[in-house]
Amino acid sequence: MSESSSEEDLGDLGDRDDRGDGGERTADALRTAVERTLAATAGSAVGTRERARGLFDEVARRGEAARGEIGRRGEAAREGVSRTRDAAREQVVRGREAARSDLVRRGEEASGRLAELLSELKLADRDDLGPLAERLAGIEARLAELERGLRGERLGEAGSKGEYDPKVEGEITPSEADSGD
């Protein structure tokens, strides 16, 4: 609205008359001024409303785009976490298998070393013990024969004194050997 038209309307207010007719004219002029003001601002209100709608639509559009982007990024993050989890599981499985094979290898090495050590010790086996057992039996027989000879000599000595001591000093009789005394 222009200034000149509002001055004209206000100018009408200045020409008032104290008569009834002047009051109506003033009311009409005021009404016309208000209508013109409203008409003049109505266009800018419609423009403002349109701009506000446009801004709201832009905010809504950007919000939808942001929601979509967040959804895509969230899905990408889930996939990344899933891939990382799968790779970690794979690495754990490989590590477990490597440790297991390393333990098997070390066990085989230790078994091999033990077998080598045992062969180096040259432990006697049954074949080696047979001849030793025969030799031991021969020694026991000779010892028994010697003990009998000693007993016979002692018997001869004891017979002259009238005493008999069947035990040689430090000798263990078979009954004592069986009882473990």
pLDDT in tens, 24-81: 888 888 889 888 887 777 777 777 888 888 888 898 899 999 999 999 999 999 999 9
Across 9-37, average pLDDT: 69
What are the DSSP calls for 5-62, one per residue?
HHHHHHHHHHT--SSHHHHHHHHHHHHHHHHHHHHHHHHHHHHHHHHHHHHHHHHHHH
Give the pLDDT score at 68.
93
Give the pLDDT score at 157.
62
Give the pLDDT score at 71.
94
Q: Which two tokens stand for residue 75?
A: 């899905």
Quickly tell me which residue has 């024969």 as its tokens.
145
Confidence label for 120 from pLDDT (cuts 50, 70 and 90): confident
pLDDT digits (tens, 9 = 90+) for 146-174: 998 888 877 666 555 545 455 555 555 55
The more confidently predicted of residues 48 and 135 is 135
Give the pLDDT score at 117.
86
Span of 10-14, 29-33, 89-93 with lowest mean pLDDT: 10-14
- Does residue 110 register a pLDDT over 90? yes
Residue 17 amino acid letter: D
**Degrees to nearest 5, angle at CA 84 with 79 and 88:** 150
Give the pLDDT score at 98.
94
Confidence label for 86 from pLDDT (cuts 50, 70 and 90): very high
The more confidently predicted of residues 118 and 32 is 32
Across 111-136, average pLDDT: 85
Give the pLDDT score at 12.
47
Burial of 18 (0-12, 13-18, 19+ CB in 10 A): exposed
